[in-house]
Amino acid sequence: MADKKYVIGVDYGSDSVRSVIVDSANGEEISSAVFYYPRWKAGKYCDPSQSQFRQHPLDYTEGLTETIRQAVAKSPEGIADKIVAISIDTTGSTPVAVNEQGVPLALLPQFAENPNAMFVLWKDHTGVQEAAEINQHATKFDTNYLAYCGGIYSSEWFWAKFLHILRSDAAVAENTYTWVEQCDWLPFLLTGGKNAKDIMASRCAAGHKALWAEEFGGLPPEEFFTSLDPILAGYRDKLFAETYTSDQKVGNLSAEWAEKLGLSTDVVVGVGAFDAHFGAVGGQIEPYYLSKVMGTSTCDILVAPNQDMQGKLVAGICGQVNGSVIPGMAGLEAGQSAFGDAYAWFKNLLLWPIRNIVAENPNAETDALLNKIEEQLIPVLAKKADQLPLTEKDEYAIDWLNGRRTPNANQMLKGAFFGLDLGTDAVKMFKALVEATCFGAKKIVDQFIQQGVQVEGLIGLGGVAKKSPYIMQMMADVMNRPIKIHKSEQTCAIGAAMFAATVAGIYPKVEDAMKAMGQGFDAEYHPNPEKAKIYAKRYQTYVQAGAFIEEHLTFQK
């Protein structure tokens, strides 16, 4: 153990944060800890009916402290002294307004309960009108500043959220110095940053969500923003001209945070990135393999040699950025706005009467029964759905319950069920919903292929990939191609650990860390040829139904 070096990967998800201590030599997970955000869990600062999803920075800082301290406490004695680096991934785009010192406004007393002063979670769509304005505004310029973010700007992204908050809250606007992504703020915090100007911008976040492109020399010009809305004047210059790939160092752990975490100030902190980008690395992504991180939403990542992408711009995705996943390669991102969230919505729909009846008649027996039903509902639905025959006339669904991310982002779109009759039950509706999410995934693969980017294989990552054979088999059948499932349940945190090992200089490049620390694959699903034929026909109906909804039934709250 004398020569051992350990690293910490920190993975911030939508509901919780997880920290994992990893042996840098072989990727062995030594210990881990999870912290569920208490304010988020209580439903504070959110209004799902308005697509408002905000998170308090204290949920993040408390979670960071608790998970690292717990993971260290669970480790064998002496390991804490051999931890050499920390890297962090987060959801995104999840930005926040900060003052000149880089402090999120929600950490100031006057804004402690103001949702507009908090982190605007990736799935917050309150900026849908602002996104539409950005898309229209971009057409007025000779240079297409949306070219490297897929050609369509989304309400899930940086500038739409920023503009919406500035317009909505004069007090927040007056006190905002600049706007910062969660994955950039946390390394700044850990290294003792005191000036927002010193925040190092992640290439991943800036390139995919904030209109930064090296091809344009950085962000669009000041005129682009001020002519969109004068309220944006001056912010461009307070943001970033340079961006940094995640194999680079932000600094060392500050004395304050070293003491708080029980670590040394010799620990280096790497540049952050988004969870799916680190997840793709933790899942040992290969060129032209689509890495699908499947959780509440999906984020699909593909990497390709830069020379192969010369002259290619893939429209309708969430950006293509040099070095956003693996330094020296083009990173292309796509995804679905609701995946696990779609199943959670259906589960909550079915449980509503039971929960309300139990709430009116509380006792230990009914509470225990409710907990059992909640735990078993989706697995039982999946088991029963798997037993249903498959025909071309089965019920259909459209999976846009939280809008559509890819292809061609449009958060004003809504989901739908059709083909229902008096014989339709919960199991058939669940089957249709799962099929719709798989069809949505196929639409993404088609988008890449149609525009000249090959997809040689599929890699499944995340909770859904590990826990639901029914969904993964249907995915293989719908795609009509194999999908291999990575062994690790924590590929995002492991990817963060791989970057931490690279930042610490243990490996010269992250590909070497991937090779040494990767855990491999433990399952592979192969398509059923007969089912694949039926799904191919049903997929055409899905595409036609989606086109009809998009043309005739677009809603805006």
**pLDDT exceeding 90 applies to what percent of the chain?**
89
Whether 557 has a pLDDT exceeding 80, the answer reads no
């949920």: which residue's tokens? 59
CA distance 271 to 296: 25
230 secondary structure, DSSP code: G
Please say if the pLDDT value at position 554 is more than 90. no
pLDDT over threshold 60, residue 1 = no
Token pair 């490996």 in the structure block, residue: 507
Domain 340-486+527-552 superfamily per CATH = ATPase, nucleotide binding domain (3.30.420.40)
348-364: average pLDDT: 89
Q: How many residues does the chain have?
A: 557
Residues 445-464: pLDDT tens digits?
A: 999 999 999 999 999 998 88
Q: What is the mean pLDDT of the chain?
A: 95
Cα–Cα distances in angstroms (integers) from residue 517 to residues 6, 290, 462, 511, in the given order: 12, 20, 18, 10
The rounded Cα 279 to chain-centroid distance in angstroms is 10
Are residues 485 and 472 in contact, defined by beta-carbon separation less than 8 angstroms? yes
Give the sign of the dihedral formed by CA 175, CA 178, CA 179, CA 185. negative
CA separation for the pair 123, 178 (Å, rounded) = 21
Residue 311: the pLDDT is: 85
The CA–CA distances, whole Å, from 294 to 30, 342, 386 equal 24, 12, 20
Rounded average pLDDT over 367-371: 87
Q: pTM of this prediction?
A: 0.90
List pLDDT tens digits, range 196-250: 999 999 999 999 999 999 989 999 999 999 999 999 999 999 999 999 999 999 9
| Domain map (residue ranges) of the chain | 6-283+488-518, 340-486+527-552
Q: pLDDT tens across 463-510, in order?
A: 889 899 999 999 999 999 999 999 988 999 999 999 999 999 999 999
pLDDT for the residue 178: 98
User: Which comes out higher in pLDDT, residue 509 or 554?
Assistant: 509
Kindly tell me if the per-residue pLDDT of 295 is higher than 90: no
The predicted pLDDT at position 388 comes to 97
pLDDT bin (cut points 50, 70, 90) of residue 556 is: low
Letter for the amino acid at 272? Answer: G
> Tens of pLDDT along 30-86?
999 999 999 999 999 999 989 999 999 999 999 999 999 999 999 999 999 999 999
Contacts of 113 (CB under 8 A, 6+ apart): none
CATH code linked to domain 6-283+488-518: 3.30.420.40
Which helix H or strand E contains 524, and what residues bound it? strand 521-525
**Which residue reads 């592979």 in tokens?**
524
The pLDDT value recorded for residue 26 is 96
Spatial CA neighbour of 462 closest among 324, 246, 276: 276
Residues 495, 501: contact at Cβ < 8 Å?
no
